[in-house]
Structure 1
Amino acid sequence: LIFPDLVEGLVLMNIDPNGKGWIDWAAAKLSGLTSTLPDTVLSHLFSQEELMNNTELVQSYRQQIGSVVNQFNLQLFLNMYNSRRDLDINRPGTVPNAKTLRCPVMLVVGDNAPAEEGVVECNSKLDPTNTTFLKMADSGGLPQVTQPGKLTEAFKYFLQGMGYSDSVSLSLSVSVCAHAVPSASMTRLARSRTASLTSASSVEGTRPRACTHSESTEAMGQINHTMEVSC
């Protein structure tokens, strides 16, 4: 938000654009009286179903948080998280001089994750033309841990949509712009560069592209880049 020209793309996981209100502050204080610090942290990381099932992953995180992490530093980190400020972003066109993220953004959240509501609200505040909303099924609160393969695949396609050619061999057509639907039943974001290829060729000529500006415009037309995906 402060230096938009220095950021070309963002992948945000379990983001909450809102600061803590008085009700949230009171709930956090009450939770601190009835729950231990590790349990409070775990409630932010895992869904209630995962905590109830007490999976091996939850047990591992509980042991790490309780015995490895410095508890004083962890409390300071939690206090800082609970004192976070609102990002104060709005979808362009909804308010005058709306502040928002200008670069391509991929929002990632697990199904029934504690942060699901916050991520959905963040999606409603971003520009739909350059935002991808990825909701991963059967991944809980930490999709990067429970579903790393699917998340990596989505990240690769996100980079391709930004115009970068993936050096890793993928089982999909190179013509992302030709309405190709990948095998993972995921609609991919195909985004052309906004800058003129003629003026940028001297600077970015060595960077491989998934498609040219004219090809993406003619082949795709108007595309809604905001989507909810179940992997």
Structure 2
Amino acid sequence: MKKLSLLLLLSVFVFCGCSEDDDTKDDNKKEVIISFENLLKETESEFISTSTEKPEFYFKDTFNDPQNYVTFDHYYNDWGQGYSFAGFTYTNKTSHISNCQPNCGSAKTGKVYLGVYSDNFTPATLSIINSQYSIKGLWITNSKNAYIGMTEGDGWATAFKKGSWYEVTATGYNDKGDEIAKTSIRLADYKSDTDKPINTWIWLDLTDLQTASKITLTSNSSDSDDENGMRTGKYFCIDDITLIEK
């Protein structure tokens, strides 16, 4: 009887050991972090397009990361105040010159980060063009534009109070354009009148979108209505987009 009990115990130990080995397989998959460092020669600068393809309101272009893992949609126009972008841009800007700026103050890593502005006319969509990889996540924070609107108001946006919120949603699509999943993160969530928006870089886990080939990022705010839409600034910032081997 003692021999039989010892044999059963040994069998359970071996079975559990094999299961733990299987659970660690994903840890060996290669990860890639998207970076645009060293692409901007001047300080306080951003990607400038030379495209002439114009949809309804903006000229349209795309740009890839230097290693050609991801393509980013980029829109631009000049409304009389200089170059204005929508979709994605990469930038090293740190100073908040006017409301139409995505500035975050500093990047998560290095000096260059991605500014984002997304709406129905100019959706901020990124496409994974290296089919061996899928999305894992990214780092995200508020822009100075949105932060000032939430904390002080800016003539258009209303300062936040208890119950106010600001949210970014990532929506994943397959190659056919079908929506497959979405996930959201709040960059401001006022439980009291004295709360503040996020002003540091936080991780946005996108593993629920790992089968997506295209991902669109959009912001939304409690400071919105049917007549004027969203009044809080639609700019936000991301950095260190992380892909993982399939």
> How high is the TM-score relative to the length of structure 2?
0.25
> How high is the TM-score relative to the length of structure 1?
0.26
Q: Larger % of helix: which?
A: 1
